[in-house]
Amino acid sequence: MNTVFIGGSRHVSRLPAQVKERLDNVISNGHRIIVGDANGADKAVQKHFHEMAYEKVTVFCSGDSYRNNLGQWETHNVHPPKHLKGFHFYAAKDREMAREADFGLMIWDGKSPGTILNVLRLIRAGKKAVLFNVPEKKSHTIKTTDDWDAFLSRCSAELLNDLRDRATPDEWIPALQTSFPDMLEEAPIASSPKTDDDLATTYVSDEPLAKAGEDQPADLNAALATGNPATVLDALGSIAKARGMSQVAKESGLARESLYRALSPDGNPEFATVIKVLACLGYRLEAHKGLKAQAHET
């Protein structure tokens, strides 16, 4: 059973027949649905699943209460920082859904930046998204940064500016092909893309660059002992690449490209990111008194 993130624009209050067919296919395959609580497309999707008496639905909402839950399904409350308002307040649940989903279906009114940002969040997490353009009655399957860049090339300057303004720095980063040339040179060439059903991307292959061995904890401890953040990140990044960066990204819930950037010697990751990566690699931090501390005590 896969988890499908279904979202869309507030101006879409009625679902096209093509979208309903896709939703019925989701039902026939028994997938789990996660959907927001907004008016518009969210409410229309809820209405369809409620009429079909489908139970495998979870409604995500930002804050303590939901706006719409037509089937009285399970709810997932996301609590954004209290200072966030408006779009950024409600975007917190969208980011959470993109992390939890295996793939997404976005129902677009042809101009809403919020719907497009959900596609971006899915792509950054290495997942596939299908974008259905309601005015054009046409669907776009977006699996890679190449697909994303091709889509952006057809967007208006106004929409691009809105996307940049609303996206976080981690979301709005250049495509992997232009952001990490050194890593591309070191990594093997990607294998042939899989079919749509495989939910695979055609990024550079994440096959291990080195075998995971018993010396890796020692290398990491030696890096930590230097007290040099760049050395620590270099060691941690090498271990993550040896494990497979896509696997680490999936287990940590972090975007693959963001991990590459954060774990480079020039990276500046949040401490929470480092802890998540360590946990995914099976490591934990422990505090021990160093030589300086022992010298002060004598």
pLDDT digits (tens, 9 = 90+) for 167-216: 887 777 644 333 333 322 233 333 333 343 333 222 222 333 334 445 67
C-beta pairs of 213-221 under 8 Å, 24+ apart in sequence: 216/242, 217/283, 220/283
**What top-level class would CATH report for the domain 3-166?**
alpha beta
Domain with CATH 3.40.50.450 in the chain: 3-166
Residues of the chain under the 50 pLDDT cut:
174-213
Helices (H) and strands (E) counted in the chain, each on its own, are 14, 7
What percent of the chain is predicted at pLDDT more than 90?
31
Please write down the HEC assignment for all residues of 43-81.
HHHHHHHHHCCCCCEEEEEECCCCCCCCCCCEEEEECCC
Position 63 scores a pLDDT of 85
Position 164 scores a pLDDT of 84
b/e map of 24-51 (b: 16 or more CB within 10 Å)? Answer: eebbeeebebbbbbbebbbbbbbbbbee
